[in-house]
């Protein structure tokens, strides 16, 4: 899953099946979808039409972008799959979903979301620590949503559970137009989890 040299052509976006409180999270998903589409970057996401997931996909499609959805068959049966995507991959389970999204992406961005968004984010962050991929990871930090996580990462460093270099693999920004270029320029550290 190492990142190929060259520009980012596809970004996996982790986002919510809910829209959150107020318009700000919907607006952020719209802005990110539009920005990626106008940058010629393919959006890869969880394949649903609900919440900020659907908002992201619709915004990217409306701006002329390509959107690839990956959804477990159990969710298709609940009729939440987005039927208007460039590609929709129906997979057996959540494990296969995450593996395919990660494989297809050159970088990752987490919008504000719930437990599922955090679980996806933590998995690719852990994989980066283990050297399983060298793909940049960004967090779209709307109204300080991810500041408690940033503080927790600092605390883990202070308490000796996380290397500062691994904390710094997470790039925080409030603006997709600033975050995306930072991802393209970011080089993950070559320090392995167990290096001395």
Tokens 């998995």, residue located: 123
Over residues 29-42, the mean pLDDT reads: 97
Over residues 52-56, the mean pLDDT reads: 97
Which tokens sit at 122?
């933590």
Over residues 3-11, the mean pLDDT reads: 74
What domains sit in the chain, N to C, each tagged with a CATH number? Answer: 13-184 (3.40.50.450)
HSE at residue 159, side-chain half, CA atoms within 13 A, is 7
The more confident residue out of 170 and 186 is 170
Of 59, 97, 57, 101, the C-alpha closest to 75 is 97
Over residues 123-150, the mean pLDDT reads: 95
Q: What is the rounded CA–CA span in Å between residue 82 and residue 63?
A: 17
pLDDT tens string 71-128: 999 998 787 999 999 999 999 999 999 999 999 999 999 999 999 999 999 999 999 9
pLDDT tens string 36-53: 999 999 999 999 999 999
In degrees and rounded to multiples of 5, residue 5 shows phi and psi of -65, 150
């Amino acid at each position: 899953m190492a990142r190929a040299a060259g520009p980012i052509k596809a970004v996996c976006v982790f986002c919510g099946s809910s829209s959150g409180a107020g318009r700000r999270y919907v607006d952020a998903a719209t802005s990110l979808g539009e920005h990626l589409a106008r940058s010629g970057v393919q959006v890869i996401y969880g394949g649903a039409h609900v919440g900020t997931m659907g908002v992201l996909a619709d915004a990217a499609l409306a701006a002329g972008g390509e959107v690839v959805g990956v959804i477990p068959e159990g969710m298709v049966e609940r009729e939440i799959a987005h039927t208007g995507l460039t590609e929709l991959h129906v997979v057996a389970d959540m494990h296969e979903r995450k593996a395919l999204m990660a494989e297809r992406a050159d970088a990752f961005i987490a919008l504000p979301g719930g437990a599922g968004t955090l679980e996806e984010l933590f998995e690719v962050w852990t994989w980066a620590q283990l050297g399983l991929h060298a793909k940049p990871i960004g967090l779209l930090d709307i109204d300080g949503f991810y500041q408690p996580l940033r503080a927790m990462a600092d605390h883990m460093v202070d308490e000796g559970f996380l290397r500062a270099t691994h904390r710094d693999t997470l790039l925080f920004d409030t603006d997709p137009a600033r975050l995306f270029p930072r991802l393209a320029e970011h080089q993950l550290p070559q320090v392995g989890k167990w290096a001395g």
